[in-house]
Amino acid sequence: MIDLAIIGGGPAGLTAGLYATRGGLKNVIMYEKGMPGGQITSSSEIENYPGISVVTDGISFMAPWSEQCTRFGLKIEMKSVERVEKISNGFCLHFEDGSKQEAKCVIVCTGSKPRRAGIKGENEFFGRGVSTCATCDGFFYKGKEVAVLGGGNTAIEEALYLSEICSKVYLIHRRDEFRAAPNSVERAKKCEKIEFVLNAVVDEVLGDSSGVTGLRLSYKDGKTRQIEVPGIFVFVGLDVLNNVLSDNNGGFICEMTPQGNVKVNLKMQTSLPGLWACGDLRQDAPKQVVCAAGDGAVAALDAIEYLRNHH
Ligand code: FAD
Ligand code: NAP
């Protein structure tokens, strides 16, 4: 049985790993199903993490985090956790490959993933013109026109990024007000390559055997429009990844909000002693790297205290 298992290697999980190992825990494993770094690695820029003087991309920003943790003894295993089971003296992690690992306590930091918009043709053409990652796929549209869907921070920032590569970006949003930070919206409005298509929804992603060829839109006032683009980037929010906390009865092993976020207190403790939830997964998460990292530190410090008192 290990002392502490951390599930997810984004900013929350890596910071939990750093604080747990640097705080003296010897037997800590972080499980990550993809590449450590989390969802910020799909971002073309991060400029609001304290101390950053030069705007950098998400992959470069996260690269040193894993190395810093492993220096203090964090073990990282590339494994996908299927579910966490409560057992008498701790928890049992069940992995997708069928293996298991027992741990005295667990910090869950599984974050969230991009949501699909539910448009006709979106799933059919996903990966063939429909994308949720401008950093990954933007270059395929060098010198071409693309569309971006959404009015949040991700849509505006990635539209700006794509405007550096593409000849034109149609920014399609269902309202004429934005969730995105006002300064980002102002930057986008000043960008000549971005056309704002507001009060409009995409009714269908059009395509053929080569992939996406265009979009069929309708405006709130009933007018319709067709845009010829080979690519659409969908940034319509995030779905929380809470499935590792499912129980066998269609519920969860700890208390959740109706939206599927984990209920936590100020120490990131869930309703189940020995189990913490951090970052985008938890209730009222501000969905910022700095906050996810802060949560990870808080949970790890509390886990050290818990292990001292309970084991
Ligand atoms: P995540 O970063 O989502 O990491 C979770 C990790 O858990 C992932 O690596 C995932 O692979 C892993 N995982 C999930 N399920 C399992 C499983 N079952 N088993 C094993 N591993 C699992 N925030 C900012 O502060 N500034 C920005 O400029 C900014 N820009 C952004 C741009 C984009 C395009 C996006 C998508 C987000 C941006 N954010 C930004 C938000 C920020 O990335 C998130 O708030 C932050 O990454 C949350 O960290 P986390 O550790 O909670 O989760
Ligand atoms: P978001 O803030 O939830 O915004 C989603 C956008 O998509 C909204 O404008 C929403 O419209 C629109 N939308 C939702 N469903 C839609 C649908 N089916 N069809 C068309 N449009 C739809 O998501 P996000 O931009 O991905 O950001 C997620 C979180 O990460 C946020 O908390 C954000 O602040 C954070 N983040 C921060 C930064 C940063 O700090 N620089 C960068 C990126 C992300 P409505 O507005 O009409 O609801």
Q: Which pLDDT score is estimated for 48?
A: 87
The answer to whether the CB of 244 falls within 8 A of the CB of 81 is yes
User: Burial, 298: exposed, middle or buried (Cβ in 10 Å; 0-12, 13-18, 19+)?
Assistant: buried
The answer to whether the CB of 187 falls within 8 A of the CB of 211 is no
pLDDT band at 133; cut points 50, 70, 90: confident
Domain 117-235 has CATH 3.40.50.300: no
Ligand 2 within 6 A of CB of 17: no
CATH 3.50.50.60 residue spans of the chain: 2-114+238-310, 117-235
What's the 155 CA to ligand 2 centre distance in angstroms?
A: 7
Name which of 47-51, 179-183, 196-200 the model is least confident about.
47-51
Looking at every residue in the chain, the average pLDDT score rounds to: 95
Q: Counting ligands in written order, which one lies closest to the CA of residue 173?
A: 2
pLDDT band at 303; cut points 50, 70, 90: very high
pLDDT band at 281; cut points 50, 70, 90: very high
Q: Which pLDDT score is estimated for 77?
A: 97
What's the 10 CA to ligand 1 centre distance in angstroms?
A: 5
* The length of the chain, given as a count of residues: 311
- Written as six digits, the tokens of 270 are 């869930």
pLDDT band at 44; cut points 50, 70, 90: confident
More confident: 221 or 259: 221
The CATH class given to the 2-114+238-310 domain equals alpha beta
Best residue among 235, 289, 295 to mutate for probing ligand 1, ranked by most atoms within 8 Å of CB: 289
The answer to whether the CB of 131 falls within 8 A of the CB of 212 is no
Q: What is the pTM of this model?
A: 0.87
Q: Is the pLDDT reported for residue 222 higher than 80?
A: yes
